[in-house]
Amino acid sequence: MPRFLKSPVPAAQVTAARADVADRVRAILDDIRERGDEAVRQYSEKFDNWSPESFRLSPEEIERIVAGVPQQVLDDIRFVQEQVRTFAQAQRDSMLDVEIETLPGVRLGHRHVPVAAAGAYVPGGRYPLTASAHMTIVTAKVAGVPRVVACTPPIRGEIPAATVAAMHLAGADEIYLLGGVQAVAAMAVGTETIGGVPMLAGPGNAYVAEAKRQLFGEVGIDLFAGPTEILVIADEHADPFVVAVDLLSQAEHGPDSPAVLVTTSEELGREVERHIERLLPGMPTKDFAGPAWRDHGEIVVADTLDEAFEIADSYASEHVEVLTENPRQALDTMRDYGALFLGEGTCVSYGDKVIGTNHVLPTRGAARYTGGLWVGKYLKTVTHQEVADTASSALLGEVCGRAARVELFEGHARSGDVRAAKYGDKTLEWNEEAGA
Give strand ranges (E) for 26-126. Answer: 98-103, 106-114, 117-121
Contact 219, 228 (CB under 8 A): no
| Residue 344 annotated among the catalytic residues of the structure | no
Query: How many whole angstroms separate alpha carbon 212 and alpha carbon 184?
Result: 7
| Residue 53 annotated among the catalytic residues of the structure | no
318, 321, 344, 359: which is the annotated catalytic residue? 318
112, 275, 296, 319: which is the annotated catalytic residue? 319
Query: How many whole angstroms separate alpha carbon 152 and alpha carbon 132?
Result: 10
Main-chain dihedrals φ then ψ at residue 251, nearest 5 degrees: -60, -25
Contact 94, 376 (CB under 8 A): no
Half-sphere exposure of 280 (CA within 13 A, CB side): 21
Main-chain dihedrals φ then ψ at residue 379, nearest 5 degrees: -115, 140
Contact 136, 223 (CB under 8 A): no
Annotate 317-330 with DSSP letters as a single string. -SEEEEESSSTTHH
Helix (H) or strand (E) holding 416: helix 410-423
Task: Find the angle CA(111)-CA(171)-CA(160) to the nearest 5 degrees.
Answer: 140
Query: How many whole angstroms separate alpha carbon 436 and alpha carbon 430?
Result: 9
Report the SS3 class of residue 262: strand
Nearest to 44, CA basis, from 136, 138, 171, 181? 181
Report, as residue numbers or ranges, the catalytic residues: 318-319
